[in-house]
Structure 1
Amino acid sequence: MKRFVICAAMMAAAMWLGGCERGQAPVRFHPQGQPQTLGEWHVLSSDGKHLTLNQGVEPYALNTALFSDYAHKLRTIWMPPGTTAKYSATEAFEFPVGTIISKTFYYPRGEGGAVLRVAEQAGESLDGLDLSKVRLIETRLLVRRQDGWIALPYVWNEAQTDATLARAGDVVPLDMHTPDASAKLSFAYMVPDENQCAGCHSTNNTTRELHPIGPKARHLNRDDPWHAGQNQLTRMVALGRLDGLPAAGVPQNARLDDATASVERRARAYLDVNCGHCHSQVGPADTSGLWLDAGTDDTRRLGLCKPPVAAGQGTGDHLFDIVPGKPDDSILLYRMSSLDPGAMMPEVGRATVHEEGVAVVRDWIAAWLGSCSDDGAHVAMR
């Protein structure tokens, strides 16, 4: 009997750690080096049929997400047991050393090896991902080490059993169409290299340190798709994963697909998450004078009748970033709609145009009143 009790206790402990014989080994934080396969981290595991999350790996969703060629994304956070993140009203939360943030890009499967252009469904990744229904493309890790964050891109193999480090990036040819095949597109999905990952995540142009972009209060303040009736932030507190959440006044971005929200809130949320990490007072595009983050209220900084810092290919021969009431005369919309490498914005991370995002920004600009004088002054409508 004593022997049985000891074995049972050992088994229970192993299961609590997520490392029983038939389950996954515990998540492994690598304080140094660049593991060559995603499997070495034990954050996610796949047997080629199902992608599962390890013990303590929590999924999360954003109000409005960064556009990546219509890819769906399974986002997760793992923190060492007993540690917590610190709340910030405006910046990414301060995560402890050992934190591993993952983002897995995937598409619903279509006919003949094609992928589908459809909206992500609530509960789609509730129990991980059924690989008979989706195709994994890549998983990106942000890892918080003692000296700061590092970014590591991993590309999934054809068998969908593991992903390999792609320091130089990769190109994945895809055929994408809508379920009714009314719209079809062949394009090259670009997996960013390490420098491109750093280019987006170096959100402060002075320090050049990498930081997460999505895990901010305004993006996470929403219902939890995996736990009905719970807010993601209050759930993090309840799990002991977040300190300092105030009882009220937590900022919240609108959702792009929320028809009840104003066009302005939806457009600002979209520009914030897609552009604001670069186009801010301290970001890599600070010298452009075009600041699109959520904290900017100055309409001139938002682009109203603002001439570009540098003319040329990126302007499409337009004179101002935003011309009120005239989206087709606005540089901002031109660059969002372009696939020209010398003009498109964002510069990396997409090979297609986000039609829904462009439509919301178009409606936002169309609703602005007034006009621009030749010298760039905003002339208010009388």
Structure 2
Amino acid sequence: MQGFALLLALLLAGCQRGMQPVAFHAEGRPAKLSDWHVVEVHDGQLQLNDGVVPYDLNTPLFTDYAHKLRTIWMPKGASGKYQPVDTLDFPVGTVFSKTFYYPRAADGKFSDVARTADYSRDFAGQGLEMANVRLIETRILVHRQNGWEAIPYVWNDAQTEATLARTGAVLPLTLVAASARDGIPAREDFNYVVPDESQCASCHAQDWIDRKVHPIGPKARHINKNYLYADGEHNQLEHLAKVGYLGGVPALATVPRDVDAGDPKAPLDARARAWLDINCGHCHNPNGAANTTGLSLIHGTPENHELGICKPPTAAGQGTGNHFFDIVPGQPDASIIPYRLTSTEPGTMMPEIGRSTADHEAIALIKAWIAAMPGTCTVLH
């Protein structure tokens, strides 16, 4: 731990070398990620600029086992406002970045990336150690006068710069694990798909009536957690308030919090609901793109028909796997939700954007959650 803290301090001290101040582009699509001066590669590290604050989520959204470095920056004097349920209210000028990357596979090719939940060699937070990671893409989400706009960038093979990719990209990669386990192969070839701008907007439009883009992750319940900053471990909401990026934060005891879905010590129901909330809730909510399904998977949805329990699908066919209900209590293999989470076929898989592989750990979690549910469903003929 002492060595890790020292490295963080060195990374922080090394930040900003050769970097111009962060640039807020009020319009247009800059051709290079470095035009924003939010994160840049210098001296063998992906470094964060002055005023760029890293943050993390209690439960992250799954993207083909990619690791993510999330940051937020605001112009001097600007500040966001606390919201108890919805996305925190960030002012015009706010710039979010999310860098998707993988730990490099040991003795592997450039296309070989490690499938691991271990971040210890990434040093994510105050920067990334380039010798240990492969950068894939960085997405910029910027709040302009006309609203939020998503702008994707893809890193070059030299790992020196990311360039604008308005139409997205497809990168062939191979996930490499230490060994095969539970039917999961040690090597898995897949195509990492960088979404185009319209696909970014479709996920980030949480209200399908106005279709305005909003950040997904920075809700109080998702970021109410501690983070190891260079000067020590602090609650993220309190840290954002301390640096002037967030006002109106109440006592932490009153702030909602989703659990870490990967924490085996947390209650099973809380873990499953947290995973569904962040991975599915941005579409499956009363105002989202999937509101016509009648299925709501956001935090706080009652455990009834609305959550999918004994709820028949709105359409039959390929997406149902010939199952009758979204959730059949006690019978995960008869339920539509785990069937769609397991699939990697377009038109069947859910979420339908943002992955080419299945989240095996999440599937096991959701199946265990459904298996533990009491009750039965009645099929009407």
TM-score, length basis structure 1: 0.91
Q: Deviations over 1:141-184 (max 9, x none)?
A: 10000110000000001111110110100001001111347611
Shift in Å at residue 230 of structure 1?
Answer: 1.2
Quick check: 1:95 aligned with 2:90?
yes
Shift in Å at residue 62 of structure 1?
Answer: 0.2
SS in structure 2 at match of 1:98: coil
Aligned residues: 358
Q: 1:126 to 1:77 in 2, by over 3 A?
A: closer
Correspondence for 2:354: 349
Shift in Å at residue 30 of structure 1?
Answer: 0.3
Kindly report which structure 2 residues correspond to 1:1-382, keeping only aligned pairs within 5 A, or say none.
23-47=18-42, 49-110=44-105, 111-113=108-110, 114-121=112-119, 124-180=123-179, 183-226=186-229, 228-247=232-251, 248-375=253-380
Q: 1:142 to 1:126 in 2, by over 3 A?
A: closer
RMSD: 1.7
CA distance in structure 2 between the partners assigned to 1:298 and 1:256 by the alignment: 18
CA distance in structure 1 between the partners assigned to 2:38 and 2:248 by the alignment: 27
Whether contact under 8 Å (1:48, 1:159) holds in the other structure is no
CA distance in structure 2 between the partners assigned to 1:76 and 1:21 by the alignment: 15
Whether contact under 8 Å (2:54, 2:126) holds in the other structure is no
Shift in Å at residue 48 of structure 1?
Answer: 7.5
Identical aligned pairs, as a percentage? Answer: 53
In the alignment, residue 115 of structure 1 is paired with which amino acid? V
Shift in Å at residue 329 of structure 1?
Answer: 0.2
CA distance in structure 1 between the partners assigned to 2:323 and 2:378 by the alignment: 14
CA distance in structure 1 between the partners assigned to 2:78 and 2:228 by the alignment: 24
Shift in Å at residue 215 of structure 1?
Answer: 0.4
In the alignment, residue 237 of structure 2 is paired with which amino acid? L
Q: Deviations over 1:295-316 (max 9, x none)?
A: 3114111000000001111000
CA distance in structure 1 between the partners assigned to 2:377 and 2:215 by the alignment: 37
Whether contact under 8 Å (1:171, 1:188) holds in the other structure is yes
Shift in Å at residue 235 of structure 1?
Answer: 1.1
CA distance in structure 1 between the partners assigned to 2:276 and 2:142 by the alignment: 26
Shift in Å at residue 242 of structure 1?
Answer: 0.7
Correspondence for 1:11: none
In the alignment, residue 134 of structure 1 is paired with which amino acid? V
Q: 1:242 to 1:127 in 2, by over 3 A?
A: closer
TM-score, length basis structure 2: 0.91
SS in structure 2 at match of 1:46: strand
Shift in Å at residue 249 of structure 1?
Answer: 1.1
In the alignment, residue 108 of structure 1 is paired with which amino acid? P
CA distance in structure 1 between the partners assigned to 2:61 and 2:216 by the alignment: 10
Q: Deviations over 1:41-73 (max 9, x none)?
A: 000111472210000000000000000000000
Whether contact under 8 Å (2:84, 2:255) holds in the other structure is yes
Q: Deviations over 1:60-96 (max 9, x none)?
A: 0000000000000000000111111100010111111
Q: 1:370 to 1:191 in 2, by over 3 A?
A: same
Whether contact under 8 Å (1:48, 1:131) holds in the other structure is no
Whether contact under 8 Å (2:17, 2:42) holds in the other structure is no
CA distance in structure 1 between the partners assigned to 2:117 and 2:318 by the alignment: 33
Whether contact under 8 Å (1:72, 1:120) holds in the other structure is no
Whether contact under 8 Å (1:315, 1:334) holds in the other structure is yes
List alignment gaps of at least 5 residues for structure 2. 1-12
Shift in Å at residue 22 of structure 1?
Answer: 5.1
Correspondence for 1:13: none
Larger Rg, first or second structure (1 or 2): 1
CA distance in structure 2 between the partners assigned to 1:270 and 1:362 by the alignment: 12
Between 21-30 and 74-83, report the one with greater CA deviation: 21-30
Whether contact under 8 Å (2:102, 2:113) holds in the other structure is yes
Whether contact under 8 Å (2:16, 2:48) holds in the other structure is no
CA distance in structure 2 between the partners assigned to 1:183 and 1:337 by the alignment: 18
CA distance in structure 2 between the partners assigned to 1:260 and 1:135 by the alignment: 32
Q: 1:354 to 1:143 in 2, by over 3 A?
A: same
CA distance in structure 2 between the partners assigned to 1:191 and 1:306 by the alignment: 33
Correspondence for 1:10: none
In the alignment, residue 211 of structure 1 is paired with which amino acid? H
Correspondence for 1:380: none
Q: 1:197 to 1:312 in 2, by over 3 A?
A: same
CA distance in structure 2 between the partners assigned to 1:22 and 1:347 by the alignment: 40
SS in structure 1 at match of 2:306: coil
